[in-house]
Structure 1
């Protein structure tokens, strides 16, 4: 059963990565064509939600709805994956979790340090230190699945675990460092929803719809509190029951049901709405701007050095074992693929420079797209030089 679930998961990630790449490419093509004006109007298309007349009014452009509401569903799925892995998956035992956990920490710290070094002394650019610290699981797993037998199964599991822990780290970073102007009453409302979710879980209530309704109320409170609303998705997911006591799992059923919607609709929509950047009049100086350069170097060099270096040290010290059936070259190739930061990097970049005047959005996109593309190409090149097994 577990093997079939993993096969379905990996197969979906492979296809999802391809669709995600096509959506990003479409955004670049459209934004640099005669439809560029339409693209900007599309991302800023107004949307409004009213509840109880003027009691609750949410009026935002399309791109904000996508980044705040649609991505909350993505984070909800991430939360389900994190819970599954820590309850009875690859991270449920310390011996299994130690290597990807340390690797993920190294893969977050080194890119952040590289970015900070490139932008040192500049207060505003330094706000983006966490941008290159993220890994895009859909893109990275999509590539290793397309490579087939050239990548041992143990490395696919390792990459999945690193990306999931990486996502958990990104969630913590967003909560601690990208939260502004807190509203205590709304935070209190979110806390009440959290306590209600806990009570449902302890009472072993199996109706998933009740958890989702409470999650939506909590999302509204978190949105109004100043904390980023996507965190409500993760919090809700952690309370979905893992077992119904009859051999079933509401959490896993919901995870499998959400996967196609996230992989083929939500993430591609996010990519299309966020990856568009005009390349008209682009100069070398733009590519070498400290923000773009720091992100690109953090993803390309920082991820590879951080993930591989931390893993190598743990293995050499005898604190962890190298993934079975993999040599050091294959292992390094997968570590390089961790530099594909696309979705989460763009997301954090949007939070880091939100509301600031200046061309920060373009610089973030150039760095993320450049670093992710180079990491994907280099990692693929390294792995394709090894014979298929």
Structure 2
């Protein structure tokens, strides 16, 4: 009887860790991805595809005539808005606000984006349409990676968790810059000017101390609409809009930025990101054998995430520590830092998003990219978890 109670307590504790706290978002995202793969490989595969890709008879915005477009260009703008809020807060009042503290995460994130891109190009080649996928393995999925850390509980030092979050935030900023610079179609000048005028109005409202939520939201939606029609990807509007939100602390001890971030993070974690995962992770596995897995695009992405990410980040940490540029995070061992670097190879959300942008005229390559992202992210999550699970509780 006592043994049964002990087992029940351990099971309850494990479920609490999985479904509560920071692990919850990652678990829900995993479930959404699994559901998408099941749907795409079941008798419902045509219904699954039609649900997201069939054109609507009527839509309030002509450019968004499918559910898939509304999710990727609409809801994901909210995701990028929250990412922008986190980046601004970290730069002005967080780990990235101090020049000495931001040295290591910036260096690690830069190496962690360059190395996977290089691995991809070495495997997939730099000619033809496949070269546009170089940025797919360069991104890290915060929700997924933090979810794995949450499952480990107190085995992971707080400094390591904070460092991973900081690296992932810098990584997100780099991914946003890549989308804006390399995955933007021809720009419609009139809509681009309109977007700049709306942005100027947002900046003016911030500088004048305006604290009207309806005004900022109305201007933010207008900015998104202008950017959507300009040819620049609409999600960039979310980040730019976030940078105009005031962070100044008011009389009540909070700010517009902190309130919006606090209000939107749950929607991001439990609705937007899982819905995006369900809409984009469904890849048909029928007919894919060993030869399919070794095609240039899926192999390049998988190796970029699984090998390139950990190699780039861990090498940057070792070099920075050895030359005295920046010491490793306090209270961490090299084994734990290696495990953290491996977890950064989980590129799910942002990698799938960039994959859809990289091959707009090649649906087959988009499916191959999904396969590479899923394999690379799965291998990174399993190995990263195993390393941190077996790592010493105390730094070496």
Q: TM-score, normalised by structure 1?
A: 0.94
For residues 263 and 357 of structure 1, what CA distance do their matches in structure 2 show?
Answer: 30
In the alignment, does 2:122 pair up with 1:117? yes
Superposed CA RMSD in Å reads: 1.4
2:72 maps to 1:67: yes
**Displacement of 1:37 after TM fit?**
1.2
Whole-angstrom CA distance in 2 between matches of 1:41 and 1:125: 27
Q: In the aligned structure 1, how far is the partner of 2:98 from the partner of 2:267?
A: 30
Task: Provide closer, same or farther for how the CA distance between residues 199 and 11 of structure 1 changes in structure 2, counting only shifts above 3 A.
Answer: farther
In structure 2, the residue matched to 1:28 is: 37
Structure 1 residue 148, shift from structure 2 partner: 1.1
**Helix, strand or coil at the partner of 1:60:** coil
Query: What pairs up with 1:280-359 in 2 under 5 angstroms?
Result: 280-354=286-360, 356-357=361-362, 359=364
The aligned residue for residue 176 of structure 1 is 181
Aligned to 1:260: 266
Range 106-115 or range 201-210, more displaced:
201-210
Unaligned runs of 5+ in 2: 1-18
Q: Assess, with a 3 A threshold, how the Cα gap between structure 1 residues 189 and 349 changes in structure 2: closer, same or farther.
A: same
For 2:149 and 2:250, locate their aligned partners in 1 and report how far apart those are by CA, in whole Å. Answer: 36
Aligned match of 1:384: 389
Match of 1:17 among 26, 51, 67: 26
> By how many angstroms is 1:34 displaced?
1.1
1:141 aligns to 2:146 (yes or no): yes
- Per-residue deviation, residues 312-346 of structure 1 (Å, max 9, x unmatched): 11111111111111100011000000000000000
The structure 1 residue matched to 2:248, chosen from 229, 243, 248, is 243
**1:210: how far off?**
1.3
From 82, 88, 106, give the equivalent of 2:93: 88
Name the counterpart of 1:49: 59
User: Any conservation in 1 of the 2:21–2:150 contact (CA below 8 Å)?
Assistant: no
In structure 1, the gaps of 5 or more residues are 1-9, 51-55
Aligned length in residues: 374
Which of residues 174, 183, 186 in structure 1 aligns to 2:191?
186
| Alpha-carbon distance, 1:243 to partner | 1.8
TM-score normalised to structure 2 length: 0.92
